[in-house]
A and B are shown apart, each in its own frame.
Chain A
Amino acid sequence: KAGVTQTPRYLIKTRGQQVTLSCSPISGHRSVSWYQQTPGQGLQFLFEYFSETQRNKGNFPGRFSGRQFSNSRSEMNVSTLELGDSALYLCASSLADQSSEKLFFGSGTQLSVL
Chain B
Amino acid sequence: GESVGLHLPTLSVQEGDNSIINCAYSNSASDYFIWYKQESGKGPQFIIDIRSNMDKRQGQRVTVLLNKTVKHLSLQIAATQPGDSAVYFCAENANQGGKLIFGQGTELSVKP
Q: Which residues of A contact B (CB under 8 A)?
A: 4, 31, 33, 35, 41-43, 45, 48, 50, 55-56, 58, 90, 92, 94, 96, 99-108
Interface contact B34-A50, CB-CB below 8 Å: no
B83: A residues at CB distance < 8 A: none
A106: B residues at CB distance < 8 A: 43
Q: Could you say which of B1, B34, B42 contacts A42, with CB atoms under 8 Å apart?
A: B1
Q: By DSSP majority rule, is chain B's interface helix, strand, loop, or mixed? A: loop
CA distance A43 to B45 in the complex (A): 14
A101: B residues at CB distance < 8 A: 93, 98
Given A90-B44, A105-B45, A107-B42, check contact A42 B105 (CB 8 Å): yes
Q: Which residues of B contact A (CB under 8 A)?
A: 1, 31-32, 34, 36, 41-46, 49, 51, 89, 91, 93, 95-105
Q: A94-B98, A102-B46 are in contact. List 10 more A-B contacts (CB 8 A).
A: A33-B100, A42-B1, A42-B104, A43-B44, A50-B97, A56-B96, A56-B99, A90-B43, A105-B45, A107-B41
| B31, B32, B36, B100: most-surrounded residue (chain A CB, <10 A) | B100
Shortest B28–chain A CB gap in Å is: 15
Closest 10 CB pairs of A and B: A48-B98, A105-B43, A100-B32, A43-B102, A99-B97, A33-B98, A105-B44, A107-B43, A42-B104, A45-B99
Q: Could you say which of B36, B89, B101, B103 contacts A45, with CB atoms under 8 Å apart?
A: B101
Q: Could you say which of A4, A45, A100, A102 contacts B43, with CB atoms under 8 Å apart?
A: A4
B100: A residues at CB distance < 8 A: 33, 43, 45, 103
Q: Could you say which of B44, B46, B98 contacts A56, with CB atoms under 8 Å apart?
A: B98
List the A residue with the shortest CB-CB distance to B101.
Answer: A45
A104: B residues at CB distance < 8 A: 46
Shortest B31–chain A CB gap in Å is: 6
Shortest A74–chain B CB gap in Å is: 11
| A4, A35, A42, A50: most-surrounded residue (chain B CB, <10 A) | A42
